[in-house]
Structure 1
Amino acid sequence: MATYAIGDIQGCFDQLMRLLERIGFGDSDQLWLAGDLVNRGPRSLETLRFVRSLGSRARVVLGNHDLHLLAIHYGVTQPRRSDTLGPILEADDRDELMHWLLQQPLLVHDAELDYVMVHAGIPPDWSLKQASQRAREVETVLQGPEAESFFQHMYGNKPDCWSKDLKGWDRLRVITNYLTRMRFCDSKGRLDFAAKGGLDTQPAGFMPWYSHPRKAAEQRIIFGHWAALEGGLRNPQLFSLDTGCVWGNSLTAMRLEDQRYYSCDCSALRNAASDTAKTKVLSDG
């Protein structure tokens, strides 16, 4: 039995199937998925159905695109022009898929394998125990009767810094933003949401979250979200697996037992990604 972790799929189902074929994914193997299963790619519905069909063989954390899909499902926001979520929203099994997605955590920790998986990262000032407890606060709401209210309050960049005194929706929003949207932060943990490119876009006074002294520095962390890193982070404790499949780069898997990497070329998606980017510019303008 082997365990494979894969970065952001974002609806690139065909590429996922090719990658699993390449690694020889078998019936006794486990799959870890670092969030953003859906959106921007062409086959989000098939991706969700496949991952759900794996049952306990798949361990998933929620990413910001997955949460965005759930917010649309609850009717608290509308699809953006760049979204490719229509087939899910029109599917006969939509409700079952959304119920399954709501049950997925924000953080996975496997003490035996000695890995943590989260979509964006763990804030420098949080220990693993604190991150796990705070992730569970959000998960409890998502899996309870206040899920719709959560999505009504989820969007927004404030507060942009953690405080133990935070309560209510502000507290849940900043926890969610750290775990699913974080890239750059300052020495106090204050988040920057404007810079979304590579390290050359680092704002003054900010650094990548993982470059600060970290309470969870001894923990091996698998994360996605930051495609501009191109999987190039070189740190024995940190594994950045979003290699920009949906943008026409590659889809990457790492075998946890020996940290061997596998990849699938996604250049066939490059033209589609370019068209999506143009649409986003038009809609933002």
Structure 2
Amino acid sequence: MKTYVIGDLQGCHEQALSMLERIRAHAAAAGVAEPAILFAGDLINRGPDSLATLRHVRKLAMASGGLIDSVLGNHDLHLLAVAYGIRAEHKSDTLADILHAPDRDELIDWVRRRPLAIQTPGHVLVHAGLLPQWSADQAMALAGEVQDMLRGPDETFADFLAEMYGNLPDQWSEDLQGADRLRCIINAMTRLRFCTADGVMDFKMKESGKAEEGSGLMPWFEVPGRRSARDTVVFGHWSALGLTLKPNLIGLDSGCVWGGQLSAVCLEDRSLLQVQCPEFQEPSNKKKA
């Protein structure tokens, strides 16, 4: 078996097709006809063709018998919130084609039922990160709590969407309950970049791969004693950090939509596949220059 994880697509459909071709060729060269393909979330938004991207990934996943899937990213959750009238579209969103598509309901329902985390032997995949207090197995159990709510009755789901946004609580506690508990889990797994040594999350720093000196912050994966360090955590979400390959860490957001690359890694042998991408969105640091 070969398992490939692809970084944030963000609506870059042509680049996604190119990457899928490269993955199939790479797997075929190893004698694998049907590789497992996982996406690190943020399938849509900001890129030029969110509708075609979402349709294609959904079609592949539904025909794969479980070999192809995606975790939820913050942009995927944003789509759900906009679709249910909880949030307005942002100026930079490229979601309108999905929201007005004839198959809108089927697409939204498929996104809603995606997992927040996926575990494979020795690896756990999330969009953003894991809090230092969580082992991989605990993270999977917590992700399951969120998934049960997302896949539950429409009324419960819509009620939670209205409470999903907010930066608090910014630290995990087993005593958290209800919407606070689920919000903390979602924020960690879909938004986390920096936190303190005690696991207090920071959501202000977005455009850097390094914390400000004296801030007391560090990348979540550098917290001493992080309980998930026994497994390799695979994630996207952090284009400013860029491609990151370490013994127990794989970061795959290499800025596809910002004129970087779309990256994928084979988990079994760490083979790296990349596709160069046009600059569909101008990075904010470039705008300030």
Give the structure-2-normalised TM-score: 0.90
Instruction: Determine the C-alpha separation between the residues in 2 that align with 1:166 and 1:16.
Output: 39
Q: How does 1:132-211 map to 2 (within 5 A)?
A: 132-145=140-153, 146-202=156-212, 204-211=215-222
SS at match of 1:245: coil
Shift in Å at residue 249 of structure 1?
0.4
1:256 equivalenced with 2:267 (yes/no): yes
Q: Which amino acid aligns with 2:194?
A: F
Instruction: Determine the C-alpha separation between the residues in 2 that align with 1:277 and 1:91.
Output: 30
1:70 equivalenced with 2:80 (yes/no): yes
User: What root-mean-square deviation, in Å, do the aligned CA atoms of Structure 1 and Structure 2 show?
Assistant: 1.8
Instruction: Determine the C-alpha separation between the residues in 1 that align with 2:275 and 2:58.
Output: 22
Q: Which amino acid aligns with 2:39?
A: L
Instruction: Determine the C-alpha separation between the residues in 1 that align with 2:212 and 2:22.
Output: 36
Instruction: Determine the C-alpha separation between the residues in 1 that align with 2:246 and 2:265.
Output: 14
1:47 equivalenced with 2:53 (yes/no): yes
Instruction: Determine the C-alpha separation between the residues in 2 that align with 1:31 and 1:129.
Output: 21
Instruction: Determine the C-alpha separation between the residues in 2 that align with 1:187 and 1:156.
Output: 22
Identity of aligned residues (%): 47
Instruction: Determine the C-alpha separation between the residues in 2 that align with 1:234 and 1:180.
Output: 20
SS at match of 2:89: coil
Which of the numbers 96, 101, 114 marks the counterpart of 1:104?
114
Deviations 1:175-231 (A, max 9, x none): 100110000000111011000122334461110000012111110111001111111
Q: How does 1:215-254 map to 2 (within 5 A)?
A: 215-231=227-243, 233-254=244-265
Instruction: Determine the C-alpha separation between the residues in 2 that align with 1:253 and 1:199.
Output: 20
Structure 1 residues 128 and 210, CA, compared in 2 at 3 Å: closer, same or farther?
Answer: same
**Would you tell me which structure has more helix in proportion to its own residues?**
1
Q: How does 1:2-151 map to 2 (within 5 A)?
A: 2-24=2-24, 28-54=34-60, 55=62, 56-111=66-121, 114-145=122-153, 146-151=156-161
Q: Does the 8 A contact of 1:184 with 1:202 survive in 2?
A: no
Instruction: Determine the C-alpha separation between the residues in 2 that align with 1:217 and 1:255.
Output: 19
Instruction: Determine the C-alpha separation between the residues in 2 that align with 1:39 and 1:264.
Output: 19
Give the structure-1-normalised TM-score: 0.91
Which of the numbers 204, 214, 218 marks the counterpart of 2:226?
214
Deviations 1:85-111 (A, max 9, x none): 000000000100111111111010123
Structure 1 residues 277 and 82, CA, compared in 2 at 3 Å: closer, same or farther?
Answer: farther
Could you list the runs of 5+ residues in structure 1 that have no partner in the other structure? none
Q: Which amino acid aligns with 1:196?
A: K
SS at match of 1:24: helix
Shift in Å at residue 277 of structure 1?
5.0
Shift in Å at residue 256 of structure 1?
1.6
Could you list the runs of 5+ residues in structure 2 that have no partner in the other structure? none
Q: Does the 8 A contact of 1:255 with 1:261 survive in 2?
A: yes
What is the aligned residue count? 273
